[in-house]
């Protein structure tokens, strides 16, 4: 089966499993798990932040960040299709009484600077307090540039707002732009990075910021049920992922580019777009339903028009997928 649904379907390889089984462990709620401590220290150094916190999921990591930055009745500015707003169960509103202020994404995955400015509320009791801007990098596979991020940082500084990044695929953005992680992370007050997508770990995300921020986020992690005991077995997988699986993300980008070219050749130049490890198809729904049925018959799992490439799709499967596309009638 060629699984194109998401890079979340990746599984630990043999070396990662060995690292997990040989991990030194302790009680992480007491901050005594050496493997978790090493992962947090390594992550903080990699992104040049003061401190880091290991959490079970990206959803919890983002929510802990929002709850640390914002008080009840505060507001955060976010993209209309952003994961924190659309795909995390409304947690900010449900659990933290934080009001989202969504605005549309631009075609390049950015939030227009003037759009951000236009929704920042005045200091008036009638309004929620504008407190935070949340970006996403990559957004639908599209990488945000450092120049753009710095322009958002400037707006935040002007209005005394914090800046958070949902960086579930942050390292894809770094590889795509050949930029060091610490440089692309620089403008943010906090960053959430996912270990269980393209990096191949089975579970976990890292939240990064200054020491005061992470100290408060640790408290919210406990409130949200994210305190884990001998978590070092899982943290060891994350540490292996950061040490061994970042540079290879370029392979996923190249595979996506290869298949994108074949789709264009077969269906026309407007049939699909590609950015980093993702392809978005532009089929009419009925046409895609027919194509999807064909793909299923050829053992390709592509349930929607977003195809995501990852480490568990090898070279022979890429060649097979090319044949499958070319043979569709």
230-243 pLDDT, tens per residue?
999 999 999 999 99
Tell me the chain's radius of gyration from C-alpha atoms. Answer: 20
For every residue of 66-124, DSSP letters joined together read HHHH--TTEEEEEETT-HHHHSSTTHHHHHH-PEEEEEPPPTTS---HHHHHHHPPPS-
Q: Are 240 and 19 within 8 A, CB to CB?
A: yes
Q: Which residues pair with 134 in a beta bridge?
A: 164
Which sequence spans correspond to the domains of the chain? 7-244, 248-327
Residue 285: the pLDDT is 85
Task: Please identify every stretch of the chain with a pLDDT value under 70, giving residue numbers as ranges.
Answer: none
Q: What whole-number distance in Å separates Cα of residue 244 and Cα of residue 223? A: 33
Hey, CA dihedral for 255, 261, 264, 269, is it positive or negative?
positive
Residue 184: the pLDDT is 98
Contacts within 8 Å (CB) and 24+ apart, 263-271: 263/325, 266/325, 266/326, 266/328
SS percent in the chain: helix, strand, coil, step 5 = 45, 15, 35
Q: Which residues pair with 75 in a beta bridge?
A: 99, 130
- SS3 state of residue 27: coil
Q: Are 142 and 159 within 8 A, CB to CB?
A: no
90-131 pLDDT, tens per residue?
999 999 999 999 999 999 999 999 999 999 999 999 999 999
One of 3.30.43.10, 3.90.1720.10, 3.40.640.10, 3.40.470.10 is the CATH number of 7-244, namely: 3.40.640.10
Q: What whole-number distance in Å separates Cα of residue 26 and Cα of residue 36? A: 9
**Domain covering 248-327: architecture:** Alpha-Beta Complex (3.90)
Residue 245: the pLDDT is 98
Q: What whole-number distance in Å separates Cα of residue 170 and Cα of residue 139? A: 10
Q: What whole-number distance in Å separates Cα of residue 191 and Cα of residue 94? A: 22
pTM of the model: 0.96
């Amino acid at each position: 089966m060629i699984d194109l649904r998401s890079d979340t379907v990746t599984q630990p390889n043999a070396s990662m499993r060995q690292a997990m089984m040989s991990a030194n462990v302790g009680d992480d709620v007491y901050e005594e798990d050496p493997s978790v401590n090493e992962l947090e220290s390594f992550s903080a150094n990699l992104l040049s932040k003061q401190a880091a916190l290991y959490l079970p999921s990206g959803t919890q990591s983002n929510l802990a960040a929002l709850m640390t930055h914002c008080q009840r009745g505060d507001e955060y500015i976010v993209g209309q299709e952003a994961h924190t707003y659309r795909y995390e169960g409304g947690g900010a509103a449900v659990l933290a009484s934080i009001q989202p202020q969504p605005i549309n994404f631009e075609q390049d995955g950015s939030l227009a600077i003037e759009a951000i400015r236009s929704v920042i509320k005045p200091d008036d009791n009638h309004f929620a307090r504008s407190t935070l801007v949340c970006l996403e990098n990559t957004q639908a596979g599209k990488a945000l540039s450092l120049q753009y991020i710095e322009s958002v940082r400037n707006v935040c500084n002007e209005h005394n707002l914090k800046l958070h990044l949902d960086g579930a695929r942050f390292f894809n953005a770094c590889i795509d732009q050949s930029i060091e992680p610490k440089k692309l992370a620089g403008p943010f007050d906090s960053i959430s990075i996912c270990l269980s997508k393209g990096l191949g770990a089975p579970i976990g995300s890292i939240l990064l910021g200054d020491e005061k921020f992470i100290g408060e986020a640790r408290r919210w992690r406990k409130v949200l049920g994210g305190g884990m005991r001998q978590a070092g077995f899982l943290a060891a997988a994350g540490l292996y992922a950061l040490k061994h699986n970042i540079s290879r993300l370029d392979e996923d980008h190249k595979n996506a580019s290869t298949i994108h070219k074949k789709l264009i050749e077969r269906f026309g130049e407007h049939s699909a777009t590609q950015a980093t490890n993702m392809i978005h198809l532009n089929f009419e729904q009925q046409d895609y339903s027919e194509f999807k049925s064909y793909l299923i018959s050829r053992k390709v799992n592509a349930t929607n028009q977003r195809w995501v490439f990852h480490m568990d799709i090898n070279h022979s499967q890429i060649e097979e997928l090319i044949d499958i596309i070319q043979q569709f009638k």
